[in-house]
């Protein structure tokens, strides 16, 4: 096992990018291993670490198919459905509440 090259913050050479930077270019890592890492020092804790991938080995992002769009819409609809009253809340129900606001706070509705 070889060690990864470590670069200081903002000093990585060209040809490397983080996942977010790849995504902004319409790319994905495509199964490649982490090629290097970036470290940003902090005063009281350990450094912030970002993993870098090679841009030349990155692949294009897979396009959304109609089936994937449908699955995503179904998942988002399930997050809006209140388990108590079985109605669409009109917003994503917070996990902390577990139900829509009228069900979570019945005394607040008059």
Judge whether 1 and 26 are in contact, CB under 8 Å.
no
Number of residues in the chain: 110
Buried b or exposed e, range 27-62, using 16+ CB within 10 angstroms: bbbeeeeebbbbeeeeeeeeeeebebbbeeebeeee
Cα distance between residue 52 and residue 23, in whole Å: 13
Cα distance between residue 48 and residue 55, in whole Å: 22
How high is the mean pLDDT in each 10-residue block of the chain (110 residues)?
A: 85 94 96 94 92 96 95 94 92 91 78
Residue 15 pLDDT: 95
Rounded to 5°, angle at Cα 72 from 67 and 68: 25
Cα distance between residue 26 and residue 60, in whole Å: 6
pTM of the model: 0.68
Residue 79 pLDDT: 93
């Amino acid at each position: 096992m070889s060690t990864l090259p470590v670069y200081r913050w903002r000093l990585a050479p060209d040809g490397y990018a983080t996942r977010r930077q790849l995504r902004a270019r319409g790319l994905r890592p495509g199964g490649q291993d982490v090629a290097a890492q970036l470290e940003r020092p902090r005063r009281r804790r350990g450094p912030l670490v970002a993993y870098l991938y090679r841009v030349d080995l990155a692949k294009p992002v897979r396009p959304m198919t109609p089936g994937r769009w449908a699955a995503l819409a179904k998942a988002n609809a399930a997050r809006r459905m209140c388990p108590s009253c079985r109605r669409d809340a009109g917003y994503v129900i917070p996990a902390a509440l577990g139900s829509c606001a009228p069900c979570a706070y019945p005394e607040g509705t008059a």
